[in-house]
Amino acid sequence: AQVEKGGHKHFMSKEIAEQPSVVGNALNHYVRGGAIQLPTELDFTKIERLTMVACGTAYLACLTAKYWFEQIARLPVEVDVASEFRYREPPMTRGTVALFVSQSGETADTLAALRYAKENADQIVSVVNVAESSISREADISLPILAGTEISVASTKGFTCQLTVLLIMALHAAHQRGHLTAEQLAERLDQLHTMPGLMNVALAGSSAVKAVSRKLASATDILFLGRGAMFPLALEGALKLKEISYIHAEGYASGELKHGPIALVDKKTPVIVFAPSDALFDKTISNMQEVMARGGKVLLITDSAGAQQAGEGVWETLILPEVDDALAPLLYAIPAQQIAYHTAIAKGTDVDQPRNLAKSVTVE
Ligand code: G6P
């Protein structure tokens, strides 16, 4: 097993480290000669609404992609967890395409949701890792994410490869729908091609993450905050942490802090904030000040401009390279995963096989 782990102690750390290369593979598969390669049957000029359905981490990839499809392609998106969607019997109007995201391609709830949508949506698209899977086979169009086999129960490279494919789809949609010129699209794709390199820089920061994770390991509750597309990443950071370290964690939209979670903040509560220095950074700073004023410990994950602007009082800061707004969830996923991994190691839990969880949930 040591050989399969390629020198890593756990599959999870191996899979985290593989992300620059597998994200690069997905990119090279879907972007060739500067042009996006997606099936011609996927025609976003005919699509009026996208309904995205998934479970777990794949659901959080969908929530992230909602920001991209809506902001960049101006395409309305609805996102739901499969277990709710399948029984909710949602009406699906003409022009609706249903998109199912699943690493395994076998999750029972997602498959049942797909079968419901088959009778109600114009087209069924799936984004899967396992190409020979039910969710892949039963869709009209199936797009592989090319992450390679993912063994650790907690999904890491599956998540970032899902994001990569969904972002390429959103850029394609934006171009087809007239919201990005050929030139703007080319520029966006050039930026996307810098992602594997940026991820390598983030991975190199692991010793700082390890040090802060040792301090996080004694916490009983941890809050994760983010705005915009960093909000779903806050949810993913919290999910990852609770899955493998068993520390209670909650993800919140930064702006919701005052509507509840702030009541939890005291000097024992670390608050992890994902905040690249974007247009909304000022608002995030004021959220952090609200936390610090109550003695809360802020772990800020940002770029160097953000670290400077944040000023004094921040407990710990992790610095990532500067990145285009749309790409930030892909890059910031790395420290989110590393925090969960190193905190779990510090606690001595079984990282690859957390209690009560399964890699693929094929029963309801
Ligand atoms: C399980 C796994 C998660 C995964 C979820 C959805 O809960 O432990 O890591 O995100 O299933 O799985 P899927 O294969 O459909 O992406």
Encode pLDDT of 54-75 as tens digits.
999 999 999 999 999 999 999 9
Name the burial class of residue 129, with classes exposed (0-12), middle (13-18) and buried (19+) by CB atoms within 10 angstroms of its CB.
buried
Cβ–ligand 1 distance for 147 under 6 Å, the answer no
Q: How many CA atoms lie within 13 A of 264 on its CB side?
A: 20
Residues of the chain with pLDDT under 70: 1-3
* Residue 215 CA, ligand 1 centroid: distance in Å: 28
Cβ–ligand 1 distance for 206 under 6 Å, the answer no
Closest by CA to 155, choosing from 32, 258, 16, 296, is 16
Three-class SS state of 143: strand
* Residue 353 CA, ligand 1 centroid: distance in Å: 13
Instruction: Please report the pLDDT score of residue 311 as a whole number.
Output: 86
| Helix, strand, coil distribution of the chain in percent, nearest 5 | 50, 15, 35
State residue 48 phi and psi, 5-degree precision: -100, -25
Instruction: Please report the pLDDT score of residue 313 as a whole number.
Output: 92
Cβ–ligand 1 distance for 110 under 6 Å, the answer yes
CA–CA gap between residue 25 and residue 259 (Å, rounded): 42
Instruction: Please report the pLDDT score of residue 239 as a whole number.
Output: 97
- Return the DSSP state at 87: H
Cβ–ligand 1 distance for 353 under 6 Å, the answer no
Encode pLDDT of 218-273 as tens digits.
999 999 999 999 999 999 999 999 999 999 999 999 999 989 888 888 999 999 99
Instruction: Please report the pLDDT score of residue 1 as a whole number.
Output: 54
Q: In whole angstroms, what separates CA 338 from the centre of its chain? A: 14
Nearest CA to ligand 1 atom 15: 102
Instruction: Please report the pLDDT score of residue 2 as a whole number.
Output: 57
Nearest CA to ligand 1 atom 2: 359
Task: Give the sheet arrangement for strand 297-302, strand by strand.
Answer: 248-253, 221-226, 270-274, 297-302, 316-319
Ligand 1 atom at shortest distance from the alpha carbon of 154: 9
Q: How many CB atoms lie within 10 A of CB 325?
A: 15
Do the Cβ atoms of 173 and 286 come closer than 8 Å?
no
Instruction: Please report the pLDDT score of residue 6 as a whole number.
Output: 87
* Residue 307 CA, ligand 1 centroid: distance in Å: 34
Cβ–ligand 1 distance for 83 under 6 Å, the answer no
* Residue 358 CA, ligand 1 centroid: distance in Å: 8
List strand residue ranges (DSSP E) for 242-342, in order. Answer: 248-253, 270-274, 297-302, 316-319
* Axis-axis angle for helices 195-204, 328-347 (nearest 10): 30
Fill in the amino acid letter for 156. T
Q: In the annotation, is 9 catalytic?
A: no
Instruction: Please report the pLDDT score of residue 156 as a whole number.
Output: 97
